[in-house]
Structures are given as structure tokens and as C-alpha cells.
């Protein structure tokens, strides 16, 4: 799952994915435009979801919102 956030002219890409190796692990990555990505790994889906929800709340409190063009596309459906 990939989603895009924006705050003023800044952009942020967030992604949840399975690891590329054979281990049953999950990754949650936050990648600001023009800065290094921060990737966390989780052995359980529960840990991943708990972290995602905390991070989402933290980002919203900092003023990050879904990218406007993505929201417009959803409302056109």
C-alpha cells in the first residue's frame, strides 16, 4: 500500500509492504522528498498496524494531509 501526503509544498510518500526476502516480515517506510527514507521492519501485522496508526496521527498533527489530487480522483469515482 502506498499513499502520498503533502504539507504546503512538501511531499511525503508512505508505504507498507512485505519484505523482499523470504522472511514473513513487514516494512513501513516514510520517504520525504529530498531526504533519506526511514524504514521500520515488523515481525507481526499487529505491530505494523499499531505503528502505522501512531505515525498517521503524528503526521496529521504536524499538518500532513492526503495529496489533494489523490482526494479529487477518489471523489470523481
pLDDT digits (tens, 9 = 90+) for 22-69: 777 999 999 999 899 999 999 999 999 999 999 999 999 999 999 877
pLDDT at 77 over 60: no
CA dihedral in degrees (48, 26, 5, 33; nearest 10)? 130
Asked whether 2 and 14 are in contact (CB, 8 A), the reply is yes
Distance CA 16, CA 31 (A): 12
Quick one: pLDDT at residue 70?
60
pTM as predicted: 0.79
* Domains identified in the chain and CATH numbers: 2-75 (2.20.140)
pLDDT band at 21 (very low <50, low <70, confident <90, very high): confident
Amino acid at each position: 500500500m502506498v499513499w502520498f501526503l503533502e504539507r504546503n509544498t512538501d511531499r511525503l510518500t508512505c508505504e507498507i509492504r512485505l519484505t523482499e526476502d523470504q522472511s514473513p516480515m513487514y516494512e513501513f517506510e516514510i520517504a520525504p522528498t529530498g531526504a533519506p527514507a526511514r524504514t521500520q521492519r515488523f515481525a507481526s501485522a499487529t505491530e505494523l498496524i499499531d505503528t502505522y496508526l501512531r505515525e498517521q496521527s503524528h503526521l496529521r498533527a504536524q499538518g500532513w494531509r492526503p495529496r489533494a489530487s489523490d482526494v479529487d480522483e477518489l471523489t470523481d469515482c
